[in-house]
Homo-oligomer: A and B are copies of this chain.
Amino acid sequence: MYQPTDTQTLLRSLRTLRAVREFSPDPVPEEVVHDLLEVARWSGSARNVQPWELVVIRDRESLAVLAACDGYAGHLAGAQLGIVLVMAGDNNEQETYDEGRLSERIMLAAAAHGVGGCIGWFTGQGRVDAKHHLGIPEHRLVRTAISLGYPDEAALRARQSSGDARKPLAEIIHQEQYGRGMPD
Protein backbone atom coordinates (compact mmCIF):
# COMPACT_ATOMS: atom_id res chain seq x y z
CA MET A 1 0.00 0.00 0.00
CA TYR A 2 1.17 3.52 -0.73
CA GLN A 3 1.32 6.33 1.76
CA PRO A 4 -1.23 9.11 1.18
CA THR A 5 1.47 11.49 -0.07
CA ASP A 6 2.49 8.89 -2.64
CA THR A 7 -1.10 8.56 -3.74
CA GLN A 8 -1.21 12.25 -4.61
CA THR A 9 2.17 12.08 -6.34
CA LEU A 10 1.02 9.16 -8.45
CA LEU A 11 -2.32 10.69 -9.34
CA ARG A 12 -0.71 13.98 -10.28
CA SER A 13 1.72 12.16 -12.55
CA LEU A 14 -1.17 10.35 -14.25
CA ARG A 15 -3.33 13.45 -14.59
CA THR A 16 -0.62 15.71 -15.90
CA LEU A 17 1.06 13.56 -18.54
CA ARG A 18 1.15 15.48 -21.80
CA ALA A 19 2.86 14.79 -25.08
CA VAL A 20 6.18 16.59 -25.55
CA ARG A 21 7.19 17.10 -29.16
CA GLU A 22 10.17 19.46 -28.86
CA PHE A 23 13.27 18.30 -27.06
CA SER A 24 16.37 19.82 -25.53
CA PRO A 25 19.79 18.63 -26.77
CA ASP A 26 20.58 17.11 -23.34
CA PRO A 27 21.20 13.39 -23.69
CA VAL A 28 19.06 10.93 -21.74
CA PRO A 29 21.34 8.82 -19.48
CA GLU A 30 21.51 5.07 -20.03
CA GLU A 31 20.21 4.42 -16.49
CA VAL A 32 17.07 6.36 -17.31
CA VAL A 33 16.53 4.39 -20.51
CA HIS A 34 17.07 1.20 -18.56
CA ASP A 35 14.33 2.21 -16.10
CA LEU A 36 11.93 2.80 -18.99
CA LEU A 37 12.70 -0.57 -20.52
CA GLU A 38 12.23 -2.29 -17.18
CA VAL A 39 8.79 -0.69 -16.85
CA ALA A 40 8.02 -1.72 -20.44
CA ARG A 41 9.05 -5.27 -19.67
CA TRP A 42 6.57 -5.48 -16.80
CA SER A 43 3.61 -4.18 -18.80
CA GLY A 44 0.49 -6.29 -18.74
CA SER A 45 -0.95 -7.98 -21.80
CA ALA A 46 -3.86 -10.26 -22.62
CA ARG A 47 -3.06 -13.76 -21.31
CA ASN A 48 0.41 -12.38 -20.48
CA VAL A 49 1.65 -13.13 -24.01
CA GLN A 50 3.82 -9.98 -24.05
CA PRO A 51 3.49 -9.67 -27.84
CA TRP A 52 6.25 -7.09 -28.18
CA GLU A 53 9.88 -6.29 -28.70
CA LEU A 54 11.42 -2.82 -28.61
CA VAL A 55 14.14 -1.23 -30.71
CA VAL A 56 15.99 1.64 -29.01
CA ILE A 57 17.46 4.14 -31.44
CA ARG A 58 19.87 6.94 -30.57
CA ASP A 59 21.67 7.32 -33.87
CA ARG A 60 20.70 10.72 -35.27
CA GLU A 61 20.76 9.67 -38.91
CA SER A 62 18.65 6.65 -38.14
CA LEU A 63 16.13 8.80 -36.26
CA ALA A 64 15.98 11.14 -39.25
CA VAL A 65 15.28 8.24 -41.63
CA LEU A 66 12.46 7.03 -39.38
CA ALA A 67 11.08 10.55 -39.00
CA ALA A 68 10.76 10.72 -42.79
CA CYS A 69 8.76 7.48 -43.05
CA ASP A 70 5.09 7.88 -43.96
CA GLY A 71 2.96 8.66 -40.95
CA TYR A 72 3.06 10.91 -37.94
CA ALA A 73 6.47 10.32 -36.40
CA GLY A 74 8.28 13.40 -37.69
CA HIS A 75 9.09 14.40 -34.13
CA LEU A 76 11.64 11.58 -34.01
CA ALA A 77 14.03 13.86 -35.92
CA GLY A 78 14.47 16.10 -32.88
CA ALA A 79 14.32 13.41 -30.21
CA GLN A 80 17.26 12.20 -28.16
CA LEU A 81 16.10 8.68 -28.65
CA GLY A 82 13.29 6.76 -30.19
CA ILE A 83 11.71 3.51 -29.11
CA VAL A 84 10.07 1.56 -31.91
CA LEU A 85 7.53 -1.04 -30.81
CA VAL A 86 7.76 -4.30 -32.72
CA MET A 87 4.53 -6.23 -32.31
CA ALA A 88 4.17 -9.95 -32.91
CA GLY A 89 2.16 -9.27 -36.04
CA ASP A 90 -1.08 -11.08 -35.34
CA ASN A 91 -2.59 -7.65 -35.87
CA ASN A 92 -5.75 -8.44 -33.95
CA GLU A 93 -7.54 -6.18 -31.49
CA GLN A 94 -5.77 -7.65 -28.44
CA GLU A 95 -2.40 -6.78 -29.89
CA THR A 96 -3.41 -3.24 -30.77
CA TYR A 97 -4.92 -2.72 -27.32
CA ASP A 98 -1.84 -4.12 -25.58
CA GLU A 99 0.33 -1.86 -27.70
CA GLY A 100 -1.63 1.08 -26.32
CA ARG A 101 -1.08 -0.17 -22.76
CA LEU A 102 2.65 -0.60 -23.34
CA SER A 103 2.97 2.85 -24.91
CA GLU A 104 1.27 4.49 -21.97
CA ARG A 105 3.62 2.82 -19.51
CA ILE A 106 6.68 3.98 -21.41
CA MET A 107 5.37 7.55 -21.50
CA LEU A 108 4.66 7.50 -17.76
CA ALA A 109 8.02 5.96 -16.90
CA ALA A 110 9.72 8.68 -18.93
CA ALA A 111 7.71 11.35 -17.12
CA ALA A 112 8.82 9.92 -13.77
CA HIS A 113 12.34 10.92 -14.81
CA GLY A 114 11.28 14.29 -16.18
CA VAL A 115 11.73 12.97 -19.73
CA GLY A 116 9.12 13.99 -22.25
CA GLY A 117 7.73 11.82 -24.97
CA CYS A 118 5.40 11.74 -27.90
CA ILE A 119 3.70 8.78 -29.50
CA GLY A 120 4.10 8.65 -33.26
CA TRP A 121 2.56 6.26 -35.76
CA PHE A 122 3.81 5.00 -39.05
CA THR A 123 1.13 4.51 -41.67
CA GLY A 124 0.89 2.59 -44.91
CA GLN A 125 4.24 2.26 -46.67
CA GLY A 126 5.86 3.93 -43.64
CA ARG A 127 5.39 0.70 -41.69
CA VAL A 128 7.14 -1.30 -44.37
CA ASP A 129 9.94 1.23 -44.70
CA ALA A 130 10.54 1.46 -40.94
CA LYS A 131 10.80 -2.33 -40.71
CA HIS A 132 13.20 -2.45 -43.61
CA HIS A 133 15.35 0.32 -42.16
CA LEU A 134 15.62 -1.42 -38.78
CA GLY A 135 16.05 -4.95 -40.14
CA ILE A 136 12.76 -6.13 -38.64
CA PRO A 137 11.23 -9.29 -40.15
CA GLU A 138 8.36 -8.61 -42.53
CA HIS A 139 5.77 -10.58 -40.57
CA ARG A 140 6.13 -8.27 -37.56
CA LEU A 141 3.94 -5.21 -37.16
CA VAL A 142 5.63 -1.83 -36.71
CA ARG A 143 3.20 0.97 -36.05
CA THR A 144 4.35 2.96 -33.00
CA ALA A 145 7.51 4.98 -32.44
CA ILE A 146 7.88 6.95 -29.22
CA SER A 147 10.11 10.03 -29.29
CA LEU A 148 11.88 10.75 -26.03
CA GLY A 149 14.06 13.51 -24.61
CA TYR A 150 14.14 16.21 -22.00
CA PRO A 151 11.56 18.85 -22.92
CA ASP A 152 12.52 22.04 -24.66
CA GLU A 153 11.21 24.22 -21.88
CA ALA A 154 10.42 27.26 -24.02
CA ALA A 155 8.39 25.17 -26.48
CA LEU A 156 6.68 23.43 -23.58
CA ARG A 157 5.57 26.71 -22.01
CA ALA A 158 4.25 27.99 -25.33
CA ARG A 159 2.27 24.79 -25.82
CA GLN A 160 0.92 24.76 -22.27
CA SER A 161 -0.36 28.28 -22.58
CA SER A 162 -2.21 27.25 -25.73
CA GLY A 163 -4.18 24.77 -23.63
CA ASP A 164 -4.83 21.09 -24.10
CA ALA A 165 -8.51 20.68 -23.39
CA ARG A 166 -10.36 17.60 -22.27
CA LYS A 167 -14.09 16.99 -22.14
CA PRO A 168 -15.65 17.63 -18.70
CA LEU A 169 -16.54 14.59 -16.61
CA ALA A 170 -20.25 15.32 -17.04
CA GLU A 171 -19.89 14.65 -20.76
CA ILE A 172 -18.18 11.29 -20.49
CA ILE A 173 -19.34 9.63 -17.26
CA HIS A 174 -22.55 7.66 -16.76
CA GLN A 175 -23.75 6.06 -13.53
CA GLU A 176 -25.17 2.54 -13.61
CA GLN A 177 -26.92 3.13 -16.94
CA TYR A 178 -25.91 4.99 -20.07
CA GLY A 179 -27.53 8.41 -19.97
CA ARG A 180 -27.59 8.70 -16.18
CA GLY A 181 -25.22 11.49 -15.26
CA MET A 182 -22.86 12.13 -12.42
CA PRO A 183 -24.34 12.75 -8.98
CA ASP A 184 -23.99 16.42 -7.95
Interface residues in chain A, defined as those with a beta carbon under 8 Å from any beta carbon in chain B: 1-2, 6-7, 9-11, 13-19, 35, 37-42, 44, 46, 48, 50, 52-59, 62, 86, 93, 96-105, 107-109, 111-114, 119, 121, 134-137, 143-144, 164-169, 171-179
Contact = CB atoms under 8 A, between A and B. Distances in A.
Contacts of A37: 169, 173
Contacts of A44: 17-19, 104, 107, 119
A50 B17 contact: no
Given A14-B42, A55-B176, A135-B179, 11 more contacts: A2-B13, A6-B9, A15-B38, A48-B165, A53-B171, A54-B172, A62-B176, A96-B96, A96-B97, A99-B100, A101-B104
B172 A135 contact: no
Contacts of A174: 53-56, 86, 134
A176 B134 CA distance: 7
A178 B137 contact: yes
B2 A167 contact: no
Nearest to A34: B169
A171 B111 CA distance: 25
B14 A134 contact: no
Number of copies: 2
Contacts of A177: 55, 134-135
Contact of A99 (B97, B114, B167, B178): B97
A23 to B, nearest CB: 15
Contacts of A10: 9-10, 13, 108-109, 111-112
Nearest to A131: B178
A48 to B, nearest CB: 7
B100 A134 contact: no
B172 A59 contact: no
Given A164-B48, A173-B56, A112 B16 contact: no
